[in-house]
Structures are given as C-alpha cells and as structure tokens.
Amino acid sequence: MRSPEPASLAATDLRDRIARGEITASAAVRSSLDRIAVADGDVEAWAFLDAGLATAQAEAIDHFRGAGRPLGALHGVPVAIKDIIDTRDMPTENGTVLDAGRRPSKDAAVVERLRAAGAIILGKTVTTELAVYHPGKTRNPRDAGRSPGGSSSGSAAAVAAGMVPLAIGTQTNGSVIRPASYCGVVGYKPSRGLVSRRGILKQSPALDAVGVFARSVEDAALLADAIAGPDPQDPQTLLAAPPALLATAMSRPPVKPTLAFVRSPVWDQADEDMKAGFCELAEALGPAIEEVVLPPAFDSVHRMHAAVMLADIARNYARYMEAGRQQLSEKLLGMIAEGEAMRAVDYSLALDWIDVMNAALEEIFVRYDAIVTPAATGEAPRGLGSTAVLSSRRSGPIAVCPP
C-alpha cells in the first residue's frame, strides 16, 4: 500500500511520523512545494515563496534530529505566515506597494516561537491591503469564482488547498473566522492576551489578535499551543501559563457540555440556508443546547467595534497616507477619513464598552461551556471584488426558528 503524501497528512500525524523517522522534514517540504506547484496557479495564496530557503530549513531540521537533539512540538512541520507578520529571512510587505521590498531585521514573536518549536516557515501568504478590506489576489480553492474572505485570505486558502497543513493569520474584524468559514477549514482566534502581537502590523491595539488555520481542531490546537504564552516585550499578553489546548482537544469531556445558541444582533443578515442550518443543528442537539438572547448592550456592538477600529486605523496608518496616499485604495481612504472624523468621546465610550460586553459574556459562560453562532452570513459569496464584510446596521427583525 502506497504511503500518503506528507502534504495530505494531519499536522499532528506528520509531526509524529517525522519524530519517529518515518518521514523527513525535507520530504514534507518537497510534498508541500509539489502541491503548491499544482494548485497555486489557480489559488494564488502566496505573497513570497522561496523553495531553496524552505528546503534549506528542512535540511537543517533533519540534521538536528539526526544528531539526537530533543525535538520541538512542531519539528519539521511546514507553516505559512500571513504577510503582515515580520520574518527576518523573508520580506514582509503588508499587502501594499508602499512596503514593497520591506525586510524586517527581526522575527515577530510568533515566528520566534514557531522556529523554537522546530516548524519550517514555508513562506508568506497573501493579505488584503494593510489587512483591511481591499482584496488581494487570492481566490477561494473550493470555487475560484467565490471570495476567500479576508484579511487572512492566503493563509486560509493555502490550508484549504492542501499546500500546507498549518498557517498563521490575524484578526481585527473577523479576519480569521470569516476566511476559515469561506474556505472550509478550522479557524481559531484565541482570547486576548494569549498570543503575543510583537512584530505584527498594528491596526487596532484594542482589537488585533493572532489566529491559526488548520484542517482539524486538533491541528489548530497543536499550532496554538506552540505560539501561546506571555511575552515580556508585549505587556498585553497574560502573565499566566497558557492552556493545554491539544491535550484538551484530544480528551473526552468529563461531562456532557451545555451549549448556548446565540443568533447575534445581525442574524437578519444571514442567508436563509444558514438560518435553516442552525435551526436544524439546534433541533438535533436537543437539550444539550439552549437559545440565549444577548443583553440589549450588544445591539450596538458592531457600531462600537467600528468606532474603535476606524479611529485606530486613521491613527496607525497615517504614515501610509503621508508616504503615498495615491497608492491606497478608495475603500481604505474612506475608512481613514471616517476614523479621522471620529469624536474622541465616541472612541473613549466604545473602548469602555469592551469591558461591559466581556462582563455580559462572562455571565453566559458561568452556565454554558461554549457558544454556537455563525462564523459568517453564509457560504462564500460569488465575486472577488470584496471580502464580504457584513453591515453593522440591522435591516429587519430577527427571525426565530419554528417551534
């Protein structure tokens, strides 16, 4: 029986086979590069890829293992990195021509941890312009005529197309969860403070987060474990031992979990198929799931989020306006203009509401183990002209599932 190609293996399986000597890191990289050669012409997930550099990393990893040295949690596993995350040996161009050729002198914290865990940094994946809304070149590997989502479009697409088992992305406004949903992979956006953001393009400090993409929950947990933990150079990381996510994902729950079904304040924007699917899911889960209505404070959550994000974008991207306003998309220019017009009192109020909404969610988690809610409005929309971000304005009454 022919052995499976390394690129088709789960990351946990690939890691274990490399550790046992059944597969080399070099073979894993060759398999990924072969898959990229076949698939990326249609998908265009990569912003930078150097086969020679990837191969050299793999050879060094194999030499490390051959010397009998202790292996890291991701020894020999290829990982893709979103192109707003600094890498010392590859360009980081942030999805804009204004950063073309930019070469950071240091790795971002997450890249440092990946290298320490033995991962191979395969290349940099496409992001939307400055990780906002103007799409990059990437197409959805499930259907090239549909949006892959954004802003971590290349990372989600590279995993979905089988080019790499794991990828890193970031999220300020659904930029991990939405492309994961559209491309049909697992996306995980950790809680604030779990993963350092040092060395990553700053968009909105109150909202930015690092996330992961994988083809299974277990693989996502494997990757998240490797990058989690406090960072003295990022004071917003939690000074606490990170959770053992992989061990939890691979264990049986001690009790049957109780789930909360939350429609969200913009349930009316969901596709009819999405609504029907979630109603069917709730019915199938029976007594294990209960519908929970969010407090009225959440009616303004999208408006508050926009206030924080837009004001921060205007502040943090002012340098790009000065360097080459004419090189920025009309969409981004409009968002910067909105941010510049934001009143300080509205921005301050929106920041205060973060704690209010977190407190409301804490009350839900006292009773429930997890929240079940849509990651997007429905299937990936047709067309590549936008990342399909939903509106913050409610357009009609919230429908309910039939009894």
Active-site residue numbers? Answer: 82, 151, 175
> Do 31 and 54 contact (CB within 8 A), yes or no?
no
Among 77, 79, 190, smallest CA distance to 124 is for 79
Provide the strand spans (E) within 217-321.
259-261, 289-291
Paired strand residues for 49: 123
d(CA 332, CA 159) in angstroms, rounded, equals 27
Helix pair angle (11-20, 25-43), 10° resolution: 150
Sheet holding 120-125, edge to edge: 46-49, 120-125, 78-82, 166-171, 209-214, 186-188
Number of residues that this document lists for the chain: 403
> Do 176 and 166 contact (CB within 8 A), yes or no?
no
- Contacts for 320-324: CB closer than 8 Å, 24+ residues apart: 320/96, 320/98, 320/130, 323/98, 324/97, 324/98
Helix pair angle (217-227, 109-116), 10° resolution: 110
d(CA 356, CA 334) in angstroms, rounded, equals 29
d(CA 285, CA 369) in angstroms, rounded, equals 14
Q: In terms of DSSP bridges, do strands 370-372 and 120-125 run parallel, antiparallel, or are they unpaired?
A: unpaired
> For residue 103, what is the enclosing H or E element?
none
> Do 204 and 309 contact (CB within 8 A), yes or no?
yes
